[in-house]
């Protein structure tokens, strides 16, 4: 370690020791950094300038905040250092720069475990030794678990991880499809039964946390029937693994004769589950409907939204949160700074929906689930809101910030990260712990009436303007959920359509993308996108011509129309 860092470490440790003796908290921002919190809580912005934006976070015992970056240009991990203990970053250093393979270096976990800093990309869980007093690890990167599958356009490959108290690390292998269909995902297409993808996907595997260079075959299947997980944490009180599952998509797009766009906006549930060994949560055959409180048969397997069928044999969630809220952070609070009601409870960060059109987007806040009488409550409350800074949220990019990571500092403060700008907040309790109760929670309870949290009214909250032509209508049905009604897309997943050569350039290439779909990462206007696009060859030549003409002449675009004859020619070349 160079002299600069040696001096910084000594200063940091001395100041931390002094702060611990005084039991003091830094002064919060006057506006709480834009957050809305329960009475008695305050917040400050630690930093708003993490390069590559902030995903998951963890806080070391010396107060250093480690951040998994979304992009690895400077490094996969950043360390945020507050030398003067005013709660705000003085220095940000980046390290652990792995080979940037575009798609595989973006996600998602970071945690300190037994003197090692563990972090993950989409395909790999790494670790590096944290030496005594070190802020930036100097050791070599070691591979703990390597995902050795050939994923192609697989969307659900994030590698969050959690440790238990027995030396194990838990790593999910997400499902490579929406509901175990052929990748084309055409409307009405049945799912494979039995689903072969469950052999090595759609579940959580348990590994030795200390063993290096493991692949999936070195682990053991711990739980199955899980489509996609980003939010996962070990509860040290009941010694169980918990997660919040991302539910499936496209009920209306794929089965418009069964589901309305309103049902598709709300369903299926994002399931908060206790993941005991051997548990099966029913993917792809079933999904949880939080409005009726039960699992029902998926339409790919003969369901109509009411049929239960085989679904009574699978595990139910503790809570069914509304659909598409995108739970990306889960943390069990063990500190003493907050009032007693928060002890051992779970904080859940909802990154926010992208596909609720024609209704406002929803989520974009941090929820709290109490731990009561030795188990998780079935009720939840709003803990932190204000991230989006607008309501209603019409399109995803209208939201200023999207919450992601949750961690606790050594003094019991809660740290929250977000992925739009790389902002991190520190939330502190400065009120009267003995007097904290329902009155202090009233303001947050009232926020459940806002459009980004409450269930939308089927008619009154429909914000889709009247269609002006067939192209706009087709765009609404098949494209808007991902690319958004304003064509701005969703960072990292679905590219924008405005001013993009993919849209306004080569007509044959554009038609081919719609007919054949697109897998793997692409770069658009300097940003890498990883969301797989299903093929839409089930649309007629005229329908494809109409929707592409609409896209090429809207969202600020001014390109020529596409004809049905052009579509037919590309279709014939593709043998579709």
* CATH number assigned to the domain comprising residue 234: 2.120.10.30
| Residue 387 shares a structural domain with residue 425 | yes
Structural domain includes residue 460 = no
> Could you tell me which residues come within 8 angstroms of residue 379 by beta carbon, excluding any fewer than 6 positions away?
319, 369, 370
By three-state DSSP, how is residue 301 classified? helix
Structural domain includes residue 256 = yes
- Residue 7 phi/psi, 5-degree rounding, is -65, -40
Q: Which whole-number Å values give the CA distances from 123 to 77, 101, 177, 407, 490, in the listed order? A: 16, 11, 17, 23, 22
Token couple for 347 = 């904080």
By three-state DSSP, how is residue 195 classified? coil
Structural domain includes residue 459 = no
Structural domain includes residue 456 = no
Q: Tell me the pLDDT of the chain (576 aa) as tens digits.
A: 454 444 444 444 444 443 443 358 999 999 999 999 999 999 999 999 898 788 999 999 999 999 999 877 788 899 999 999 999 999 999 999 875 444 444 567 999 999 999 999 888 999 999 988 889 998 899 999 999 987 655 678 889 999 999 999 999 999 988 899 876 567 888 999 999 999 999 999 999 999 999 999 999 999 999 999 999 999 999 999 999 999 999 899 889 999 999 999 999 999 999 999 999 999 999 999 999 999 999 999 999 999 999 999 999 999 999 999 999 999 999 999 999 999 999 999 999 999 898 999 999 999 999 999 999 999 999 999 999 999 999 989 899 999 999 999 999 999 999 999 999 999 999 999 999 999 999 999 999 999 999 999 999 999 988 777 888 888 887 888 788 888 888 777 788 888 888 888 899 999 888 888 887 677 888 777 776 787 888 888 898 888 888 889 888 888 888 898 998 998 988 776
| Residue 434 shares a structural domain with residue 499 | no
Contact 497, 555 (CB under 8 A): yes
Q: Output the DSSP codes for 351-394.
A: ---S--TTS-B---EEEEE-EETTEE-S--EEEEB-SS-SSSB-
How confident is the model at residue 547, as a pLDDT? 86
Q: Which range marks the domain in which residue 253 is found?
A: 3-449
| Residue 417 shares a structural domain with residue 534 | no
Token couple for 85 = 């203990």
| Residue 44 shares a structural domain with residue 175 | yes
Number of domains in the chain: 2
| Residue 415 shares a structural domain with residue 477 | no
Give me the helix-helix angle, 541-552 and 564-574, nearest 10°.
Answer: 120
| Residue 14 shares a structural domain with residue 99 | yes
| Residue 396 shares a structural domain with residue 531 | no
| Residue 426 shares a structural domain with residue 532 | no
- Residue 378 phi/psi, 5-degree rounding, is -95, 5
CA-closest candidate to residue 241, choices 162, 317, 300, 187: 162
Structural domain includes residue 15 = yes
CA-closest candidate to residue 204, choices 313, 315, 297: 315
How confident is the model at residue 183, as a pLDDT? 62
* Whole-number Å distance between alpha carbons of 402 and 569: 43
Peptide bond into 268 cis (omega under 30): yes
Structural domain includes residue 458 = no
| Residue 117 shares a structural domain with residue 206 | yes
Structural domain includes residue 464 = no
* Whole-number Å distance between alpha carbons of 347 and 331: 5
| Residue 553 shares a structural domain with residue 484 | yes
| Residue 522 shares a structural domain with residue 432 | no
Structural domain includes residue 486 = yes
Which of residues 414, 449, 484 is at a domain's end? 449
| Residue 373 shares a structural domain with residue 437 | yes
What CATH number did the domain enclosing 560 receive? 1.10.760.10
């Amino acid at each position: 370690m160079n002299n600069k860092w040696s001096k910084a470490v000594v200063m940091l440790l001395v100041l931390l020791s002094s702060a611990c003796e005084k039991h003091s908290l830094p002064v919060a921002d006057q506006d709480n950094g834009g957050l809305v919190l329960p009475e008695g809580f305050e917040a400050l912005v630690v930093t708003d300038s993490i390069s590559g934006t902030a995903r998951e976070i963890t806080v070391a015992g010396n107060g250093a905040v480690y951040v998994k970056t979304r992009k690895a240009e400077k490094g996969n991990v950043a360390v945020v250092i507050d030398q003067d203990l005013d709660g705000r970053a003085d220095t940000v250093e980046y390290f652990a720069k792995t080979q940037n393979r575009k798609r595989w270096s973006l996600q998602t976990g970071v945690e300190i475990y037994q003197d090692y800093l563990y972090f993950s990309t989409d395909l790999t869980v790494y670790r590096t030794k944290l030496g005594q007093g070190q802020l930036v690890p100097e050791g070599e990167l070691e591979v703990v678990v390597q995902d050795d599958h050939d994923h192609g356009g697989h969307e659900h490959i994030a590698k969050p991880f959690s440790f238990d108290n027995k030396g194990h690390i838990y790593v999910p292998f997400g499902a490579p499809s929406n509901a175990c269909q052929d990748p084309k995902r055409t409307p009405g297409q049945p799912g494979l039964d039995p689903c072969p993808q469950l052999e090595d996907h759609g579940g959580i595997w348990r590994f030795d946390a200390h063993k290096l260079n493991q692949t999936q075959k070195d682990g053991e299947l711990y739980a199955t029937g899980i489509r996609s997980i980003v939010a996962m944490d070990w509860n040290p009180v009941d010694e169980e693994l918990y997660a919040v599952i991302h539910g499936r998509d496209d009920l209306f797009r794929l089965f418009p004769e069964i589901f309305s766009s309103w049902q598709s906006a709300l369903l299926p549930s994002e399931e908060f589950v206790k993941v005991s060994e051997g548990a099966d949560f029913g993917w792809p055959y079933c999904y949880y409907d939080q409005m009726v409180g039960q699992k029902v048969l998926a339409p790919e397997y003969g369901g109509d939204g009411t049929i239960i069928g085989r679904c009574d044999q699978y595990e139910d969630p503790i809570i069914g949160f509304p659909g598409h809220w995108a739970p990306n952070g889960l943390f069990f609070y063990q500190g003493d700074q907050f009032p007693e009601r928060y002890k051992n409870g779970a904080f859940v960060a909802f990154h926010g929906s992208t596909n609720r059109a024609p209704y406002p987007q929803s989520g974009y806040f941090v929820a709290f689930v109490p731990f009561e009488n030795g188990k998780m409550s079935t009720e939840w409350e709003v803990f932190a809101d204000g991230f989006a800074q607008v309501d209603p949220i019409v399109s995803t990019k209208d939201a200023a910030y999207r919450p992601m990571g949750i961690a606790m500092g050594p003094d019991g403060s809660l740290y929250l990260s977000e992925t739009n700008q790389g902002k991190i907040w520190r939330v502190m309790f400065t009120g009267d712990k003995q007097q904290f109760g329902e009155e202090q929670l009233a303001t947050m309870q009232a926020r459940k009436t806002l459009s980004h949290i409450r269930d939308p009214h089927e008619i009154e909250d429909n914000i889709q303007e009247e269609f002006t032509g067939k192209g706009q209508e087709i765009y609404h049905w098949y494209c808007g959920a991902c690319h958004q009604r304003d064509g701005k897309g969703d960072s990292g997943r679905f590219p924008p359509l405005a001013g993009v050569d993919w849209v306004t350039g080569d007509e044959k290439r554009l038609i081919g993308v719609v007919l054949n779909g697109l897998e793997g990462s692409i770069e658009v206007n300097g940003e890498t996108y990883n969301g797989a696009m299903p093929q839409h060859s089930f649309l007629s030549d005229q329908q494809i011509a109409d929707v592409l003409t609409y896209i090429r002449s809207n969202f600020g675009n001014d390109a020529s129309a596409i004809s049905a004859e052009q579509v037919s020619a590309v279709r014939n070349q593709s043998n579709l």
